[in-house]
Chain A
């Protein structure tokens, strides 16, 4: 079945440093969605990418969808303590979530 892997599994950064998480699917995705889950909370939708090679920005967050539509990345510039949480990618083919990357930001 479809598998969606994310790396790294964990990342600790100093506040102000950049952060990137990568998402890789075993199958081609029609689109990819990114979610953020704060500790103790539920996943909250961030963005959806649909087109091959698409790049979208939300303030300090940059999302990219690979040309083959099998991988994606999320890059955060100058992390803040409010960025703490687990970031998941998900494909809508089967609504399968990636393994997630847990981000800790040290003040």
Chain B
């Protein structure tokens, strides 16, 4: 399975600032996703990162707040903009090699906003 490197692993940020999370895969993948997971909760899909075009956002998530880039088939970034304490969460990148195949996850980014 793909090896996924997600950075940073954790960060503590001031409210009103922005943080960019990177997801690097060691092989080309068809699909890349970004999830958010609150402590003790399930994973909530933020968006699908589309290579060379705008990401597809799920209900409740907007591009202005969570801009996503995917310049090629192995790399994506998620930016959490104008952060507030409600954005404190774990953010996870996942990849799918081919449609209908399972997802593989990065180790996640644990984000705390003061």
Partner of A98, one of B42, B59, B101, B102: B42
Counting chain B residues whose Cβ lies within 8 A of the other chain, the interface size class is 20 to 34
Contact of A43 with B43 in the complex, beta carbons under 8 Å: yes
Q: Which residues of A contact B107 (CB under 8 A)?
A: 41-42
Partner of B102, one of A30, A45, A94, A96: A45
Partner of B42, one of A44, A48, A88: A88
Chain B residues numbered 38-58 whose CB sits less than 8 Å from any CB in chain A: 40-45, 48
Contact of B103 with A90 in the complex, beta carbons under 8 Å: yes
Of the listed residues A94, A97, A102, the one surrounded by the most CB atoms of chain B closer than 10 A to its CB is: A97
Q: Which residues of B contact A97 (CB under 8 A)?
A: 35, 42-45
Q: Which residues of A contact B35 (CB under 8 A)?
A: 97
Is A92's beta carbon under 8 Å from chain B? yes
Chain A residue with the shortest CB-CB distance to B40: A102
Chain B residues numbered 61-111 whose CB sits less than 8 Å from any CB in chain A: 92, 94, 96, 99-108
Contact of B108 with A95 in the complex, beta carbons under 8 Å: no
With both chains docked as a complex, state the minimum distance between the C-beta of A75 and any C-beta of chain B, in angstroms.
20
With both chains docked as a complex, state the minimum distance between the C-beta of B111 and any C-beta of chain A, in angstroms.
15
With both chains docked as a complex, state the minimum distance between the C-beta of B89 and any C-beta of chain A, in angstroms.
14
With both chains docked as a complex, state the minimum distance between the C-beta of B98 and any C-beta of chain A, in angstroms.
11
- Pairs across A and B, CB under 8 Å, 11 listed: A42-B92, A42-B106, A42-B108, A48-B102, A94-B45, A95-B33, A95-B96, A97-B35, A97-B42, A97-B43, A99-B42
Extra contacts besides A1-B59, A45-B1, A45-B104 (10): CB < 8 Å:
A35-B103, A42-B107, A43-B103, A45-B103, A88-B43, A95-B48, A97-B42, A97-B43, A97-B45, A100-B42
Would you list the 7 A-B pairs with minimal beta carbon distance, nearest first? Answer: A45-B102, A42-B105, A97-B43, A100-B42, A99-B42, A97-B42, A33-B102
